[in-house]
Amino acid sequence: MLAYAGKARLSREPVELSSLIEGTWSMIEATVSKKATLERELSPGLAALLGDPTQIRQIVMNLVLNASEAIVGLQGTIRISTSAGTYDASAFARSPAGGALKAGPYVWLEVRDDGLGMDAPTAAQMFDPFFTTKFVGRGLGMASVLGMVRGHGGAIDVESSPERGTRVRVYFPACTWQVAPAAQTPAQELWGQGVVLVVDDEKNVLHSTDLLLRGFGFDVLVARDGAEAVSVFRARSTEIDVVLLDLTMPRMSGLETLVQLRLIAPAVPVILTSGYGEGPFGSEPEQGEGPDAVLPKPYAAERLLATIQRVMRK
């Protein structure tokens, strides 16, 4: 809800959009359905935008996951594009982002699919909190995307029609700051092994994290709430190397679940994930009944993997 309101905490720095997507590509590939052909057309040397890299990655992943779920036939195509241009206020007249967007240079991200598409009434509600066309989930994916775009002073444009697919374009104001060259992480450091239990009641988060971790070499077990997590953990605690546990869930909160997991296996590493920042624990909680680490949402793939590797080495 903080993301939807555009009030989530931002860590602003210059971001080159094409490079960010290139660096996230393995995560994107792991998220996309095997039915889909993934294409990219990323313009090199774009002007930087001033924003939060983690939130921008989350925008990309939400759009790609929605596009993937829209492809229900034997095959389909998802194309991810970036470019830039100079726009005036009239260019954003249809945008649900709101606000008086200024004329000037913008960089943009576009995700296009040839899946189911939407009729006009559905498209008009796609950014409403809790609206969803799926049987499972709370519908916060696109609402949070809207909030994150608002927080960056950007705009969203959507074109869709039934059986002809959907095009979503997100505009970010360009800035004149330079982007420092990204530090290269050795490929072997981004691969893991072991069994991770992922616990989250948000379907999109559960699904994308499952695919991401499998893509990086982990075996993954999933649970949709705390009660299910305790059941899975009790049956397979000797196999599980680390637990990724959401803080806010129905039936049983993350902290309540953590207590039950500690009763079964006190030494298992637990990473608590939270959309409300690090909360009372901080990033380095004390040992004992608390979690071994706290990971604020949304998190980048690299930070997730580094945190898992760190707590497994303790």
Mean pLDDT, residues 21-45 taken together? 87
Indicate the fold that domain 188-313 takes in CATH. Answer: Rossmann fold (3.40.50)
* Mean pLDDT of all residues in 44-73: 88
Give the pLDDT of residue 179: 59
Q: How far apart are CA 46 and CA 34, in angstroms?
A: 30
Q: Give the pLDDT score at 276.
A: 62
> 37 pairs with which residues across the strands?
77
- Residue whose pair of structure tokens reads 């707590």 in the numeric block: 311
Tens-digit pLDDT profile for residues 108-155? 999 999 988 888 887 777 776 655 555 344 434 688 888 888 888 898
CB 30 within 8 A of CB 207: no
Residues 153 and 95 sit within 8 Å (Cβ to Cβ): no
CA-to-CA distance for 93 and 166, rounded, in angstroms? 19
Assess whether pLDDT exceeds 60 at residue 11.
yes
DSSP conformational letter for 252: S
Average pLDDT taken over every residue of the chain: 81
Identify the three-state secondary structure at position 293: strand
Handedness of CA 61, 24, 153, 205 (dihedral sign): positive
Secondary structure class of 66 (helix, strand, coil): helix
| pLDDT number for residue 5 | 45
Please give the angle made by the CA atoms of 275, 278 and 283, to the nearest 5 degrees. 135
Among the ranges given (101-105, 144-148, 183-187, 274-278), the one the predictor scored with the smallest mean pLDDT = 183-187
| CA proximity to 136, closest of 193, 203, 57, 53 | 203
Q: Which two tokens stand for residue 188?
A: 């072997």
What's the CA gap between 101 and 224, in Å, rounded?
39
Q: What is the pLDDT of residue 298?
A: 73
Q: Average of pLDDT values for 150-178? A: 88
Instruction: Tokens 């909360």: give the residue.
Output: 279
Neighbouring-strand partners of residue 121: none
Alpha helices in 52-130 (DSSP H): 53-70, 120-125
**Are residues 17 and 179 in contact, defined by beta-carbon separation less than 8 angstroms?**
no
Does pLDDT of 65 surpass 70? yes
- pLDDT confidence of 2, banded at 50, 70, 90? very low
Binned at pLDDT 50, 70 and 90, residue 185 comes out as very low
| Alpha-carbon gap, residue 19 to 15, rounded angstroms | 8
Rounded Cα distance, 113 and 262, in Å: 44
* Under 8 Å between Cβ of 115 and 72: yes
- The pLDDT value given to residue 141: 66
The Cα diameter of the chain in Å comes to 60
- The residue with greater pLDDT, 208 or 228, is 228
Taking only the tens place, the pLDDT of each residue in 258-303 is 999 999 999 999 999 987 644 445 444 444 568 999 988 877 777 8
Task: Indicate yes or no: pTM above 0.85.
Answer: no
Under 8 Å between Cβ of 44 and 20: no
* pLDDT tens column, 217-252: 889 999 999 999 999 999 999 999 999 999 989 889
For residue 187, is pLDDT > 70?
A: no
Q: Considering the domain 13-173, what is its CATH architecture?
A: 2-Layer Sandwich (3.30)
**Of 94-98, 177-181, 290-294, which one has max mean pLDDT?**
290-294
Secondary structure class of 126 (helix, strand, coil):
coil
Segments of the chain assigned E as strands: 13-15, 36-42, 49-51, 76-87, 104-113, 155-161, 165-173, 195-199, 219-223, 242-246, 270-274, 293-296
Domain borders along the chain are 13-173, 188-313
